Structure 1
Amino acid sequence: MPKIIRDGQIVEDAWIRVCADANQPDTQDSQAYLLPLHAWLEESAHPLRAPWLASDTELTDALAASLMQAPLIGIDFPDFNDGRGYTLARQLRTRYQYQGEIRALGDVLQDQLFYMQRVGFNAFALRADKDLQAALQALKPFSVCYQAASDQALPLFIQRAQGA
C-alpha cells in the first residue's frame, strides 16, 4: 500500500486515485477512491468516494457546499510551478471552513510542503521518486512565520503588539 504524509506523520494510504480519463469504479466496490470532481458529483453520497480537484477548478459557493460532505478533498498539481492549488486550499479552509483532509496530489515536491501546509493542506501524496522521511522534515523549516495564513490568523507583528 502506498504511503503519504498526513498530519505530520507517514501513514498508509487507503485511497486509490482514479485518473480523469480512466473508467470509473463500480458503485458497489468497497475500495476507497479519489475520483475526478465530475465523477464524484455523481457518487457523492458514497462514503468511500472523495473528489480531487483539477488546479483550474472554479470554487463556487454551490460547489463548496457539496464538497463539505466529502471525507477528503484532493487538489491536483499538474506541474510544480502551477500555484492555483494553493488558492483552492486556502479558500476551502478559510472561506468555507472545511475541516476535513485536504491532500496535495500530483507533482508535489518537498520544497513546497511547508507553504502548502500554511494555506491549509494537511496531507501530501508525493511523487514516487521522493523520500517521505526527508519531506517530513520540510514541514518544519521555520520556527516563526511573519505572515498570516490558514495556520496562523494574525501576522507576527500584531501578535507581538498584543503581547502574545
Structure 2
Amino acid sequence: MPEIVLHNGSIKQDDWVVVPRPEEGESLNVPDQKALIPADLWLAGYERYAGRADIGVWLDSHQEPESLGDKVNELPVIAVNFPKFTDGRGYSIARILRERLGFENELRAIGDVLLDQLQFMKRCGFNSYALRPDKDIQKAAKCLGFFTQGYQAATDTDTPLFRRRAG
C-alpha cells in the first residue's frame, strides 16, 4: 500500500485510491474503498455521492475550485493534481480552497510532487502529499521543516514577518 506524507513530516499508509477520469463513453468505476474521484463527476452525481465519508475529489490543474462552491466542506479530502512539477496552478487552487472557500479538511497534493516543493505546498494550505513514486519519502520531514519562518503572509500565518517582529 502506498504511503503519504503529512504536514508535520510524519508518514502514514494512504488508504485513498485516486480514480482516473474514465475514457469517453465509459462510466466512472468507483472501488469499494475510500476513493478520490474527478470533482466534476462528483458534482454531476452529487445525489449519489453526497454525505459519503469514503468519497473525496481531485481537481486537475486547469479546473476551477470555485465549481465546488458551498459544498466544499462536505468533502473529507480534496486532492489537487500537479501534472508536472513546473505547473504552479495547484498552488493557487490550494489558496483559493483555503482562503476564499474556507475548506477545512484534508488538502492533498498528488501527481508530480517532488521533495523541494513540499515547503511551498504547505504554505499554500496543503496538509498531505503523495510524492512521486521515485522520490524518497523518508526525506520529506526534513524538506517540510527546512524554513522556520516565512516572510510573507500565507495560509499558515496571516501576518508577514516584519509585523510579527514589530509586535
TM-score, normalised to structure 1, is 0.90
Relative to structure 2, which stretch is displaced further, 74-83 or 1-10?
1-10
- Which of 80, 84, 88 does residue 85 from structure 2 map onto? 80
Task: Report the counterpart of residue 158 of structure 2 in structure 1.
Answer: 153
> How far apart are the structure 2 equivalents of 1:90 and 1:10?
24
2:142 matches 1:141: no
Number of aligned residue pairs: 159
- Which of 105, 116, 122 does residue 117 from structure 1 map onto? 122
CA contact (8 A) 2:115 2:140 kept: yes
Relative to structure 2, which stretch is displaced further, 139-148 or 14-23?
14-23
> How far apart are the structure 1 equivalents of 2:49 and 2:61?
20
Shift in Å at residue 63 of structure 1? 2.0
Question: Match for 1:18: what amino acid?
Answer: V
CA contact (8 A) 1:44 1:50 kept: no
Shift in Å at residue 104 of structure 1? 0.2
Shift in Å at residue 107 of structure 1? 0.3
- Which of 9, 23, 29 does residue 25 from structure 1 map onto? 29
CA contact (8 A) 1:86 1:116 kept: yes
Question: Match for 1:24: what amino acid?
Answer: L
Question: Match for 2:133: what amino acid?
Answer: A
Relative to structure 2, which stretch is displaced further, 45-54 or 81-90?
45-54
Q: In structure 2, the residue corresponding to 1:5 is in which secondary structure? A: strand
Q: In structure 2, the residue corresponding to 1:157 is in which secondary structure? A: helix
Query: What runs of 5+ residues in structure 2 fail to find an aligned partner?
Result: none
TM-score, normalised to structure 2, is 0.89
- Which of 54, 59, 64 does residue 65 from structure 2 map onto? 59
Structure number with the higher helix fraction is 2
CA contact (8 A) 1:7 1:122 kept: yes
Task: Report the counterpart of residue 95 of structure 2 in structure 1.
Answer: 90
Deviations 1:109-135 (A, max 9, x none): 000000000010000001111111112
2:4 matches 1:35: no
> How far apart are the structure 2 equivalents of 1:147 and 1:88?
18
> How far apart are the structure 2 equivalents of 1:32 and 1:138?
28
Give identity over the alignment, percent: 43
Q: In structure 2, the residue corresponding to 1:102 is in which secondary structure? A: strand
Question: Match for 2:4: what amino acid?
Answer: I
Relative to structure 2, which stretch is displaced further, 29-38 or 143-152?
29-38
Question: Match for 2:144: what amino acid?
Answer: L
Relative to structure 2, which stretch is displaced further, 111-120 or 91-100?
91-100
2:104 matches 1:99: yes
CA contact (8 A) 1:30 1:48 kept: no
Task: Report the counterpart of residue 13 of structure 1 in structure 2.
Answer: 14
Relative to structure 2, which stretch is displaced further, 51-60 or 112-121?
51-60
Runs of 4+ aligned residues of structure 1 deviating over 4 Å after TM superposition are none
Query: What runs of 5+ residues in structure 1 fail to find an aligned partner?
Result: none
